[in-house]
Structure 1
Amino acid sequence: MPVIDLSVFDLFKVGPGPSSSHTIGPMRAGYDFIQAARALPAELLSRAAGLEVRLYGSLSATGKGHGTDRAVLAGLLGRSPESCPPEFLDELAAHPLARRTTELGPASLGLSTANVIFDSIEHSYASNNTLVIRLLGADAAAGALFEREYASIGGGFLVIKGQPEPKRGAPAYPYGTMSELRKQLDDNGLTLHRLILENEMAVTGADEAEIMAGLDTILRVMDEAVSAGLAVDGVLPGPIGLNRKARHIFERSKIKRQTHENIIGQMCAFAFAAAEENAAGHIIVTAPTCGSAGIIPAMARIMRTRLALSEQSIREGLLAAAAVGFLAKQNATIAGAEGGCQAEIGVAAAMAAAMLAHATGYGAHVAENAAETALEHHLGMTCDPVGGYVQIPCIERNAMSVVKAYTAFVIATDILPAQHKVGLDQAIEAMRATGRDMSCKYKETAQGGLALCVPNC
């Protein structure tokens, strides 16, 4: 079993919505390509006449609704996800065919979304979400002067064909499965968050203070997305005409007398808020993807405001959530295009359940059981965005799933750990097998499910 050597900040990335695989990944690809092209010999660049981007798989099927064309264009114009202001993407969306230029040494190339071609949904590339970027000469028949093939594999992760993975340090406490992780915890007398922290330091070389500062940044951006979403009304971008609901749900929650209604209403409002910001293409954190970016921020806001947990407890909970995300990514997938919505919303709910369990002082067995329960009850969930937009059913699924995560925590903490029969490894394996067997029309292509049954809303 391969050892997990991911960084927490591979999983939690700051960037614009609405999709980690369709927006953040392609923007990173465009940015990588233009940096690599600028390093080419001047003689070759002097023959450059244009750029071409071809999108395949679900990038082609739902790329228009997800803003893939403007995301990769932003990357080619030198913008990275971490620093690209949403206003820049809004301007690209408002004027998609306006000619912009990017400089490549002696060449000055015009760019617009017309350079982005939505190619075959079914294809022979290894990854469903594949894009190919080419630098073209004046003689198109002569072939590309330079090209790169990218796989956007979910969560903002990018695989570049022919490029080796960056070298990292070996984790201090190696594991590849939950059972191996539990053994490391038991053998070394570590808490879950401490093991993840020690591995983070070993893999990245960062010290504890730097990691904690990074976690604070992630939690701050998450909370800012919730606050931003609660502060506005109106209609989300795109032809669906979907009204924002977060602010109204939050205001209604304040007048509900029953405590359970009040906390559930606020939980839903917080999830709606961050998910609506994602749908608007604004800044969020992948958790583990953009499509599920409302669940952990909602749980963190509840932990902070309703459960009065300390910031240190929330940081430690976030590290426990990362452990669950690592396991899902390593042993199955976190990409809707590979595993359906179970891989995005389901994994996020599992992460949030473990986060809450760990932050409230429960051990690794309870955190695992909470995560497993949350994931188990998302198995088989399809990714069927209406119109290809991350709006229906995506936004409401964030709200429903943070409630499921909280419920999973309640179940896990109210039963004896020994009575729990299904392990997290088994649930992840079931998710992997289900995703493998799922028809491609239910994996982010908008060719089945609600995407067909609600075509004209």
Structure 2
Amino acid sequence: MIPPINTSLLELFRIGPGPSSSHTIGPMRAARDFLHAVRALPEATKSRAARLEVRLYGSLAATGPGHGTNRAVLAGLLDQAPETCTPEFLQGVNLAPDTPHELDLGGRGFVMHSSDVVLDFAEQGFSHGNTLVPRLLDEQGRPLLERRYASVGGGFIQWEGQPEERRGEPVFPFFDMRSLKLALNESSLPLHELMLMNEAALTGRGQGEILADLDRIMDVMDAAVQRGLSARGKLPGLGLARKAHILLARASAADSGAGRFLLHLDAYAFAAAEENAAGGIVATAPTSGSSGVIPAVLALLRRHQLRDRDTLRRGIIAAGTIGLLVRHNASIAGAEVGCQGEIGAASCMAAALLAYAADLPIWAVETAAEIALEHHLGLTCDPVGGFVQIPCIERNAMGAVKAYNAFLIASVEDQGLNVMGLDGVIRAMLETGRDMSAKYKETATGGLALSRPAC
């Protein structure tokens, strides 16, 4: 029997510094988890520690430096959590090889160096493309503690031997779109109410607390848009010029209403995505690399259609529900399925948000999500230079535009005319990702990553 989804909406929307949920937020969480595991060791074991080493494999090694993975690992070992780590702290972590970093192993000081975070390009045959292995070693190089972590996308981490987290059971269990629609039909509840009841049961929190956290997530998204629209200059890494403020200015001067509309949507997506690329605070939606799509459509609804907070809350709940379906039945990690699992998933979620905020029936919400995801199938993850700049920022804008168009198509269709269902498209995405060459999965070894013209 397929297990029901028991992931919280608030786990899908994580707050933290950019530029990558799988390469920045996930590794920081893994390193901090390892630090706390070390602190729990017996004093006699900790007294034998001579070195702490973290080895990065696969995509983390290939594009880690461009995504700030080295800094994120060191920040985690310095007991920084993504939710509270400031961009200033993260950027201030010195990566000079001989730089000492003072760790607190729980009542015992310990020094590690930046060079102890190692990019390991050896093929290990790990089950996940984003793997990091921290080891606490004695003077003979023997491990006192070792863990193998996988950063599986969206800031989620898994490690071998990880105990199953105790949480409540959903009131209305579902595992795909079909079972979700059955639950909605049997309960006679609207989607947002069903999800809030499940969320309360899973987390043990009151609905007021849950709604306050969703408000905070939307506030972080809006703040990223506002900062990105006002920022100037160049982004770190490739030196790409910020464009959000230019798009906003051009939007106001556009001749046609359609041009103004699209340029505003583009500007909002660029703004949040550029903030992410600069290492600013964003909300994964469902990843950091795709964190401009949903903020863009929320900004559009808030600024141009004057939708109220309650409508936006309902929309973000619908978006999160679709994101959980994609994560549970496929993947949201570029290292697993390419960019179709990041921008594709974000566009799918944003289309559902728009449809649900417009009070469309659940079949139309599904249709909007299905159309948006279907037309991202096969999208590769091929960042130039390993940076979340090219093509990721523009792809956020394209994902937002596709989401809006998917919503428009779904809003005028009649029920029963759409042949494909969301479950089928999610399966197709997973199969496409499995067949996709590794060079198109966040390794910067294929596609656009090798096509940048020489200067």
Deviations 1:73-103 (A, max 9, x none): 1000110000001001111267575322102
Unaligned runs of 5+ residues in structure 2 are none
Deviations 1:366-399 (A, max 9, x none): 1100000000000000000000000000000001
2:243 is matched with 245
CA distance in 2, matches of 1:331, 1:308: 35
CA distance in 1, matches of 2:333, 2:122: 16
What secondary structure does 1:153 align onto? strand
CA distance in 2, matches of 1:456, 1:153: 34
Matching of residue 19 in structure 1 with residue 17 in structure 2: no
What secondary structure does 1:159 align onto? strand
Deviations 1:96-126 (A, max 9, x none): 7532210224642223331111113632222
Structure 1 residue 50: deviation in Å?
A: 1.6
Counterpart residue identity of residue 149, structure 2: Y
What secondary structure does 1:418 align onto? coil
CA distance in 2, matches of 1:306, 1:296: 15
Counterpart residue identity of residue 15, structure 2: V
CA distance in 1, matches of 2:419, 2:308: 32
The one of 326, 329, 333 equivalent to 2:327 is: 329
2:276 is matched with 278
The correspondence of residues 320-359 of structure 1 with structure 2, limited to 5 A, is 320-359=318-357
2:162 is matched with 163
Structure 1 residue 3: deviation in Å?
A: 0.5
Deviations 1:141-197 (A, max 9, x none): xx1111111110000000021012211111011011101101111111111111111
Judged with a 3 Å threshold, the aligned counterparts in structure 2 of structure 1 residues 293 and 456 are, in CA distance, closer, same or farther, namely farther
Q: Does structure 2 conserve the Cα–Cα contact (< 8 Å) formed by 1:50 and 1:137? A: yes
What secondary structure does 1:92 align onto? coil
CA distance in 2, matches of 1:425, 1:104: 46
Counterpart residue identity of residue 174, structure 1: P
% identical equivalent positions:
53
2:75 is matched with 74
Structure 1 residue 263: deviation in Å?
A: 1.3
Judged with a 3 Å threshold, the aligned counterparts in structure 2 of structure 1 residues 435 and 194 are, in CA distance, closer, same or farther, namely same
Counterpart residue identity of residue 177, structure 2: M
Deviations 1:190-223 (A, max 9, x none): 1111111111011111111000000000000000
Q: Does structure 2 conserve the Cα–Cα contact (< 8 Å) formed by 1:384 and 1:443? A: yes
1:179 is matched with 178
CA distance in 2, matches of 1:455, 1:127: 31
1:114 is matched with 115
2:225 is matched with 226
What secondary structure does 1:101 align onto? strand
Structure 1 residue 456: deviation in Å?
A: 4.5
The one of 359, 362, 365 equivalent to 2:360 is: 362
Judged with a 3 Å threshold, the aligned counterparts in structure 2 of structure 1 residues 6 and 119 are, in CA distance, closer, same or farther, namely same
CA distance in 1, matches of 2:106, 2:394: 47
Judged with a 3 Å threshold, the aligned counterparts in structure 2 of structure 1 residues 417 and 121 are, in CA distance, closer, same or farther, namely farther
Deviations 1:30-78 (A, max 9, x none): 1111111111111111111121001111111111111111101100011
CA distance in 2, matches of 1:360, 1:94: 48
What secondary structure does 1:72 align onto? helix
Unaligned runs of 5+ residues in structure 1 are none
Judged with a 3 Å threshold, the aligned counterparts in structure 2 of structure 1 residues 431 and 88 are, in CA distance, closer, same or farther, namely same
2:253 is matched with 255
CA distance in 2, matches of 1:76, 1:133: 10
Q: Does structure 2 conserve the Cα–Cα contact (< 8 Å) formed by 1:12 and 1:285? A: yes
Judged with a 3 Å threshold, the aligned counterparts in structure 2 of structure 1 residues 243 and 414 are, in CA distance, closer, same or farther, namely same
Counterpart residue identity of residue 14, structure 1: I
Q: Does structure 1 conserve the Cα–Cα contact (< 8 Å) formed by 2:71 and 2:95? A: no
Judged with a 3 Å threshold, the aligned counterparts in structure 2 of structure 1 residues 178 and 105 are, in CA distance, closer, same or farther, namely closer
Judged with a 3 Å threshold, the aligned counterparts in structure 2 of structure 1 residues 96 and 217 are, in CA distance, closer, same or farther, namely farther
2:404 is matched with 406
Deviations 1:336-391 (A, max 9, x none): 00000000000000000000100111111111000000000000000000000000
Matching of residue 311 in structure 1 with residue 309 in structure 2: yes
The one of 381, 388, 393 equivalent to 1:395 is: 393
TM (norm. structure 2) is 0.98
Once structures 1 and 2 are overlaid, which stretch shifts more, 122-131 or 317-326? Answer: 122-131
Q: Does structure 2 conserve the Cα–Cα contact (< 8 Å) formed by 1:17 and 1:23? A: yes
Counterpart residue identity of residue 362, structure 2: A
Q: Does structure 2 conserve the Cα–Cα contact (< 8 Å) formed by 1:73 and 1:112? A: no
What secondary structure does 1:419 align onto? coil
Q: Does structure 2 conserve the Cα–Cα contact (< 8 Å) formed by 1:155 and 1:335? A: yes
Runs of 4+ in 1 over 6 A off after TM superposition: none
2:89 is matched with 88
Q: Does structure 1 conserve the Cα–Cα contact (< 8 Å) formed by 2:134 and 2:146? A: yes
What secondary structure does 1:425 align onto? helix
Once structures 1 and 2 are overlaid, which stretch shifts more, 189-198 or 283-292? Answer: 189-198
CA distance in 1, matches of 2:152, 2:454: 30
1:59 is matched with 60
What secondary structure does 2:162 align onto? coil
What secondary structure does 1:29 align onto? helix
2:418 is matched with 420
Structure 1 residue 400: deviation in Å?
A: 0.9
Q: Does structure 2 conserve the Cα–Cα contact (< 8 Å) formed by 1:338 and 1:435? A: yes
Matching of residue 447 in structure 1 with residue 445 in structure 2: yes
Q: Does structure 2 conserve the Cα–Cα contact (< 8 Å) formed by 1:58 and 1:121? A: no
Matching of residue 136 in structure 1 with residue 137 in structure 2: yes
Deviations 1:265-299 (A, max 9, x none): 11101100110111011110000000000000011
What secondary structure does 2:340 align onto? helix
Judged with a 3 Å threshold, the aligned counterparts in structure 2 of structure 1 residues 456 and 46 are, in CA distance, closer, same or farther, namely farther
Counterpart residue identity of residue 257, structure 2: T
CA distance in 1, matches of 2:183, 2:390: 41
Judged with a 3 Å threshold, the aligned counterparts in structure 2 of structure 1 residues 426 and 255 are, in CA distance, closer, same or farther, namely same
